[in-house]
Amino acid sequence: MIRRSETDEKTAERRLGLWLCAPAALIMLLVTGWPILYSVLLSLQRYDLRFPKERAWIGLANYGAVLTDGFWWNAFWVTVLVTVVSVAIELVLGMLLALAMYRTLVARGAIRTLVLIPYGIVTVVAAYGWRYAWTPETGWLAGMLPEGSAPLTERTPALAIIILAEVWKTTPFMALLLMAGLAVVPNDLLQAASMDGATLWQRFFRVTLPLMKPAIMVALLFRTLDAFRIFDDIYVLTNGAADTSSVSVIAYHNLIGGLNLGIGSTMSVLVFLTVAVIAAAFIKGFGISTPGTQGGRR
């Protein structure tokens, strides 16, 4: 900031601006900051709603209980697996869709609308659709499997179906983000490369992709954070049966089903920390410019 050039009038204006923003900032702090702080406080207590009299401060014991628990780590690795696999598939499919949508000459609007339909359907509704489709007797997909197979009750098939449901739902979103990135690649650059004898593949990997990097990274960041919080698809499809809980589902089970505010909050805090680490890694590691910071670190 170049303070010297500021006149008194400007300072006053700034102060007024701050005052005008203050209520909003304060409310934001209350509605987002306080719950986070409160769950941190809860995570330091033994607090089971069914035994209100036994509420006590126990330091980091809940963290010890959660971090040495097999169910938690199982849920953690399930979440990581679902996140990595589904985001990877979405990136490839999303890129293909984006290219197709970008290059289409006819009925562009209609095609874009069509592609976006899965993203427009409420996740829980879509998840029920998938659940019934894979349920023996009622499901059209289960009907194609050998008799007696119930894919949602076995771990590997259930995880595959969860990933499928995620990919089906969010690939359009990925495609949309990537298409915005495609739009910033100058056409004359591609033409020049073509004149120089670059093949289609070379043009894509050497020209288009590097120029799209910021868009790809933002898309990946959004989707990774989103995928890591996966809840509704799992809740509807298996509700965590056959070791398919994600971290959000297991936190929900402990908080809402188990009424154990201490353990449940500890899990929420751990999920929060992991999400923060992922976001920081993307922003620091890959030099992503987040929306609002112009040009980022470059």
Partner 1 sequence: MRWASCGAMAVVLLAGVGGAAAGCGGGESGPPEINLYNAPQENIGRIVARCNRRAAGRYRITLNTLPRDADGQREQMVRRLAAGDTGLDVLGLDVMWTAELAEAEWILPWTGAYERQVRRGTLPKPLETATWDGRLYAAPYTTNVQLLWYRSDLVPKPPTTWNGLIRESDRLAAEGRPHYAEVTGAPYEGIVVWFNSVLASAGGSILNTAGETVMLGPPATRALGVMRAFGRSRAADPSISSMREDDVRLAMEGGRAAFQINWPFVYASMAANKPRLLPDFKWAPYPGVDGPGRAPLGGANFGISRYTEHPREAFEAALCLRDPQSQLTAAVMDGLPPTIRTVYDAPQMAEAYPMRQAILDALETAALRPRTPTYQNVSTVTSTILSPPGSIDPVKTEARLRDLISDALESKGVLP
Residues that bind partner 1 (CB under 8 A): 48-52, 65-66, 69, 71-72, 74, 135-137, 147-150, 152-154, 240-243, 245, 250, 253-254, 256-260, 263
C-beta of residue 250 within 8 angstroms of C-beta of residue 72: yes
In this complex, which beta carbon is closest to partner 1, that of residue 69 or of residue 226? Answer: 69
Tokens of 38: 């409160």
User: Residue 58 phi/psi, 5° resolution?
Assistant: -130, 20
In whole angstroms, the minimum distance from the beta carbon of 229 to partner 1 comes to: 19
In this complex, which beta carbon is closest to partner 1, that of residue 64 or of residue 120? Answer: 64
In this complex, which beta carbon is closest to partner 1, that of residue 32 or of residue 293? Answer: 32
In whole angstroms, the minimum distance from the beta carbon of 241 to partner 1 comes to: 5
In this complex, which beta carbon is closest to partner 1, that of residue 120 or of residue 257? Answer: 257
In whole angstroms, the minimum distance from the beta carbon of 121 to partner 1 comes to: 23
In this complex, which beta carbon is closest to partner 1, that of residue 16 or of residue 49? Answer: 49
* Torsional sign, CA 282, 286, 287, 292: negative
In this complex, which beta carbon is closest to partner 1, that of residue 32 or of residue 113? Answer: 32
In whole angstroms, the minimum distance from the beta carbon of 127 to partner 1 comes to: 16
In whole angstroms, the minimum distance from the beta carbon of 149 to partner 1 comes to: 7
In this complex, which beta carbon is closest to partner 1, that of residue 209 or of residue 241? Answer: 241
> Which residues in 176-199 are b (16+ Cβ under 10 Å) and which e?
bbbbebbeebeeeebeebeeeebe
Cα 277 to Cα 284: distance, rounded to the nearest angstrom: 10
What is the total residue count of the chain?
298
Beta-strand pair 45-46/56-57: antiparallel
Sequence-ordered alpha helix ranges (H) in the chain: 8-28, 34-43, 61-67, 70-103, 108-120, 123-133, 155-183, 187-195, 200-202, 209-228, 232-237, 247-252, 261-280
Cα 202 to Cα 194: distance, rounded to the nearest angstrom: 9
Tell me the sheet residues that pair with 45. Answer: 57
In whole angstroms, the minimum distance from the beta carbon of 184 to partner 1 comes to: 38
In whole angstroms, the minimum distance from the beta carbon of 231 to partner 1 comes to: 15
